[in-house]
Chains A and B, each alone.
Chain A
């Protein structure tokens, strides 16, 4: 050794592996406008398709006349349900086991439903064509209120299902009923309520909203008639699933379908499902023999592709006088819109809503979910959350605050009293999950100490007294949220999509010079996988992250994966990456042993290579091993250094966190100010703290939007009234609060690197924190629960209804 020999710290730092704030690889191109998003794809002779959409929420389609449209310069074709019937594609299967019209077939069931697809030489001509298509409708009475869906006199929406009293998830109780899903021990839970000293009951609604990534859904389809091959560039969070779905419904051989998801401008769940635009663009390409691009505009995105939430949760908690919870009973009325197009694992009609017992040790619980049809857009996607987990977290976190209020107990104290204890993990919940790990008390206490929780409560008491004396018109609320997520779908024993187990995959190929490529079945939409996946490999095999190129999204080159949503990338694909890297490392060890002329067991891995135990000068770097893999492997070993891993996780992961929102509300105007927001997240092992913090900031901002104003709202006759960014709340830098982030680390015991996933935690935990802050602010005026979203008007109305405003 001499002064030029790098230290262990320097060698570790040079890898830029796990735990370091590596700057992102993607940013070089994105900051220069050199990303390659779907709308940037331009193929020779490419045409543009666009939709004629229904102005009515519910109507019979009497006639479609495309004769004038076909005379419009540039218009080449108008596709209707009748066209699609010739290829058996007028309807398509949904991920939830239902079917959905691709184009209106006899009826329209929601405003802005796709009625006809106009194909033209450019997007302006397509728009001219749309305006020239004449559609004659016979309006029918709309069904807007989900609570009226199963009334005897409710209009029947789905005529294709009339008389079918059983659906994909069991019996149907009404023509507008989709499924009933029940979990838990009803008798035991009912008994707990009969014996309870204290109970609460509240109908807690989580309103309809929309993921609304800044890039809308779009695709370019190109069918090569000579080769019989279909190439689809699209905004797909799950490109392999899209390939399989297209193969199944279009009856094309799967190897002749090439799905490419290039750079994606945000997804948040919006880009998981299959939409009519994809089918129509593919059919249009087959019909015209030219590539066809379909690009949604913002109004179409907000009103037609995949809303989120719309869960109405009647929630009951039983407890002792001392505040120990003894039972939980929840009934959910789920508004699914016109078709059940939820993007859940196939056997889970209400997703993982049975995580609703949250972070608390409920001895018993019972849950029932009824899904119903209404004249609204289909969807029910997991908007920056695992499937229905944000609804569950909101439900239980509001309920705990309502119980605390009834018991006249501090909501932090109530939570501490009921948390699952660290020594209870792995913990079997009353609704059937096995929580892998957690240390809730530590996280909660850290939050309370860091924020000065006790002092804030004291200040609130003083402020309330001042309000009573008429000295201030501001009220102060403290919103606690202690959420447990369930992410990383998922184990093949209980998770599949259309029969395909929800594993994920990685293939690593090391080149002779010590650089390599990793192809992964996940698909980044902004999460920075090109950066973080290379960090995992860097630490695992000792090759600098800069020397590993990560590629995703091309189904011809990437191994089959189920894609990126539900915070599954790190728990599942991240594990596959570590396992593939370990296979590389195992072969590398054999090569090193051969070259160093020792037994494999005499070697130990040391940061960036293998060293002979007890002989520190005998060392072979991974870079040199890569070279040796191509010229001097042990006799009998195949040359090369590559590996593939398909990882079927043994369990979900259970990230958790403790959040606190401090809010002031002016009762006379309803204007709120988020004074402080503290978010402590425990996502297990942290791969890149910079990216984690960034994801927490972003998720909190989306939670802020949802809780404080963002809503897809319909009027009483079924018009969607929040169809653009004019009406749909999108916080700017001015409204967005400052975020404080913190963490604890409780590694997942079953994950190869102990990581749990984090991208969705802040949305799941954030919404209840904001809503609890508003509700806490108003509680001393006599309210128990005020529904979201808490915009200025609703805050003012709450103050007025409570008598605080004349």
Chain B
């Protein structure tokens, strides 16, 4: 099948590649770019394990063609850590609040939460729950993911994190 040349910025680096028109963005990211943090869980846009950030929006890369992302600016989970390599507030929050278990949904969840906190730096619990409702987690029951995002929100806003009472 004829291939198309695409270029995009991924985690700050200019990348390019030859893809079939039908190549899904998630496969381009995982196979061509070797960035395997972005996962595939359902292929029907339900689970959100494949969530990446494209031009400031959370996008499920399993139902988008790589050619549709030509020219765009993408952040994957590999681009979330601080510039010095330390864990970002969100990554730290997920660890401190036990917001992950098997880790399979985590990249998509963190990339989604990253955009959520840009859209709304101090979300309420219902806003967080609605904000991550495109991402399914089978292990945690979400309660500690909510806390992880609250932790990150507090840290980003420079306020002390107060864990909600049980």
A residues with a Cβ closer than 8 A to B are 23-24, 26-35, 37, 39-40, 42, 73, 123-124, 212-216, 263-266, 268, 297-299, 525-528, 690-691, 693-695, 697-702, 724-726, 730, 732-734, 736, 738-741
Contact of A33 among B37, B43, B129, B136 (CB under 8 A): B37
Given A33-B107, A213-B102: A701 and B91 within 8 A (CB)? no
Contact between chains at A266 and B139 (CB < 8 Å): yes
Shortest Cβ gap from A127 to chain B (Å): 10
Given A30-B106, A214-B49: A526 and B133 within 8 A (CB)? no
Contact between chains at A31 and B39 (CB < 8 Å): no
Contact between chains at B138 and A212 (CB < 8 Å): yes
Shortest Cβ gap from B13 to chain A (Å): 15
Contact of B143 among A265, A299, A526, A739 (CB under 8 A): A739
- Name the residue on A nearest B130 (C-beta): A734
CA distance A275 to B95 in the complex (A): 34
CA distance A55 to B104 in the complex (A): 31
Report B-chain residues with C-beta under 8 Å of the C-beta of A697. 140-144
CA distance A265 to B136 in the complex (A): 13
Report A-chain residues with C-beta under 8 Å of the C-beta of B95. 23-24, 27-28, 31
CA distance A104 to B156 in the complex (A): 57
Contact between chains at B106 and A725 (CB < 8 Å): no
**Further contacts, 15 of them, CB under 8 A, given A27-B94, A298-B42, A724-B46:** A31-B87, A31-B110, A33-B107, A39-B40, A213-B102, A213-B104, A214-B102, A268-B138, A298-B47, A693-B98, A694-B140, A698-B138, A725-B42, A734-B130, A739-B141
The 8 A-B pairs with the shortest beta carbon distances in the complex, nearest first, are: A33-B37, A526-B102, A265-B104, A30-B103, A697-B141, A33-B77, A725-B46, A701-B141
Given A526-B102, A698-B141: A31 and B91 within 8 A (CB)? yes
B128 interfacial contact with A, CB 8 Å: yes
Shortest Cβ gap from A721 to chain B (Å): 15
B162 interfacial contact with A, CB 8 Å: no
- Name the residue on A nearest B126 (C-beta): A734
Contact between chains at B133 and A734 (CB < 8 Å): yes
Contact between chains at A266 and B143 (CB < 8 Å): no
Q: Which residues of chain B in 99-149 are interfacial with respect to chain A, using CB atoms and an 8 Å cutoff? A: 100-107, 110, 128-130, 132-146
Contact between chains at B38 and A33 (CB < 8 Å): yes
- Name the residue on B nearest A384 (C-beta): B138
CA distance A332 to B14 in the complex (A): 62
B33 interfacial contact with A, CB 8 Å: no
Contact of A32 among B30, B34, B91 (CB under 8 A): B91
CA distance A298 to B136 in the complex (A): 13
B23 interfacial contact with A, CB 8 Å: yes
B78 interfacial contact with A, CB 8 Å: yes
Contact between chains at B77 and A734 (CB < 8 Å): no
Contact between chains at A34 and B43 (CB < 8 Å): no
Given A124-B20, A214-B105: A31 and B100 within 8 A (CB)? yes
Given A32-B91, A724-B42, A733-B128: A214 and B104 within 8 A (CB)? yes
Shortest Cβ gap from B143 to chain A (Å): 5
- Name the residue on A nearest B85 (C-beta): A32
Q: Which residues of chain B in 44-81 are interfacial with respect to chain A, using CB atoms and an 8 Å cutoff? A: 44, 46-47, 49, 76-78, 80-81
